């Protein structure tokens, strides 16, 4: 029988530990806490249920990338196989892992070099009403004053 595959959303609790096998294969382990919520119809609000603890293990490139990317307090999405349940924890062998964008912005290696990546997304400015000021030359649609000065100094 194949192991049970599950998807979990939770928060990293503690540091991500990485080790290497004798063959040089990276293995990382981290703890994850999921706090499920339930709608309370009487109170008309969501309430937190008991937290569920996971001990996650990732291998190879996923282990290396997880070690470089994850820190305590980051919300993640995990797809994994349940390998054991003991000591009030569920053990997962992680197949895929992603950072949740619900509460933060995540940058990838390809998005970091871009100057626009670091700017937060904002609404465009509201259009301003036309003002009575005129360009330096006095005619609408005419070149700016610096253009006229350069032209007057005979640059070609």
As a whole number of angstroms, the distance between CA 94 and CA 110 comes to: 24
Q: Where are the domains of the chain?
A: 5-108
What phi-psi label fits residue 101: left (phi over 0), alpha (psi between -120 and 50 degrees) or beta? alpha
Q: Are 96 and 78 in contact (CB under 8 A)?
A: yes
Q: Are 81 and 92 in contact (CB under 8 A)?
A: yes
Nearest Cα to 100, choosing from 29, 9, 36? 9
Residue 27 host element (H or E): strand 26-34
pLDDT in tens, 96-155: 999 998 888 877 766 665 555 455 556 667 777 766 555 455 566 667 777 777 777 776
The residue to which tokens 């390998």 are assigned: 83
Classify the C-alpha dihedral 131-132-133-138 as positive or negative.
positive
Residue 39 host element (H or E): strand 37-40
Residue 129 has which token pair? 């009403």
- Architecture per CATH, 5-108: Beta Barrel (2.40)
pTM assigned to the model: 0.65
Q: Residue 114 has what DSSP assignment?
A: -
Q: Are 70 and 96 in contact (CB under 8 A)?
A: no
Backbone angles phi, psi at 43, to 5 degrees: -90, -10
The residue to which tokens 């307090």 are assigned: 73
pLDDT of residue 1: 59
pLDDT in tens, 46-89: 999 999 999 999 999 999 999 988 999 999 999 999 999 998 99
């Amino acid at each position: 029988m194949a192991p049970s595959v599950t998807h979990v959303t939770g928060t990293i609790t503690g540091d991500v530990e990485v080790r290497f096998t004798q063959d040089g294969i990276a293995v990382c382990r981290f703890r994850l806490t999921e706090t499920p919520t339930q709608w309370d119809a009487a109170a008309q609000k969501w309430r937190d249920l008991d937290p569920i603890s996971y001990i996650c293990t990732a291998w190879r490139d996923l282990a290396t990338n997880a070690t470089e990317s994850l820190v305590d307090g980051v919300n993640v999405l995990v797809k994994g196989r349940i390998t054991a349940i003991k000591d009030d924890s569920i053990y997962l062998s992680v197949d895929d892992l992603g950072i949740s964008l619900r509460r933060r912005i995540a940058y990838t290696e390809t998005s970091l070099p871009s100057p626009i990546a670091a700017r937060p997304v904002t609404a465009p400015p509201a259009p301003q009403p036309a003002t009575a000021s005129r360009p330096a030359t006095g005619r609408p649609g005419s070149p700016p004053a610096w253009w006229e000065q350069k032209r007057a100094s005979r640059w070609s």
